[in-house]
Amino acid sequence: MKRSSLITMALILSVLLNLVMLQQVIGEKDEAKLAHFEEIHNGLTYSLSFGETLKENYDELALDEKVEYLTAMHWSLTLSAWTLEDVEPGDRGNDNIAKLLTIYRGISSDLKEMIRKDNANNAVMNPLTIWLKDMNYLKENFDLVQLSKANDKGVNSYLRALLQELEYENESLEEFRHAIENTES
């Protein structure tokens, strides 16, 4: 064989090896991203579970126990939002999902203030029930695989569909709905 043929073969082998290695790196990155989305889904599940327990046992719980449940709901969503922000820093789609989780995290803080002000049970239970319904909807419709692979437009389309079904009335949520509706499709 000629020297140029050997060099050409070595170059082709090198390119093929690099392509295989790149594919492995991309595969590992996709697996890591999917694992992060599973963590986020778990955070939604934990927050919802704490909220359901609070609702079921509301009358039997002392004030400090109610506040602890709301704090657990808050922190479960906080950790999910932080995880989302770490998946791909600067990714607008993930940032928008994190904003939605942050809004729902803030609602649990609002409920905490209502409880501390010793409002009547209905004043707390009605918004808590709506919050739980919305959180259950988010958890059930949080498609890990789709979201881990979606681009910004895909995530925003996903959010538009989700936002239409959420019932909680909150100024921050309305502003977020408006912002998402006005982003490019």
Domain residue limits, the chain: 32-181
Task: Give the C-alpha distances (Å, rounded to integers) separating 165 from 19, 110, 143.
Answer: 43, 21, 16
Q: Which tens digits make up the pLDDT trace of 128-168?
A: 999 999 988 988 887 766 776 777 788 888 888 888 888 88
CA–CA separation, 71 and 99 (whole Å): 18
- Asked whether the CA dihedral 75, 81, 85, 88 is positive or negative, the reply is positive
Separation CA 114–CA 26 (nearest Å): 47
What is the rounded CA–CA span in Å between residue 6 and residue 14?
12
Its pTM stands at: 0.75
**Mind listing the pLDDT tens digit for each residue in 51-68?**
999 999 888 888 888 888
Contact 43, 79 (CB under 8 A): yes
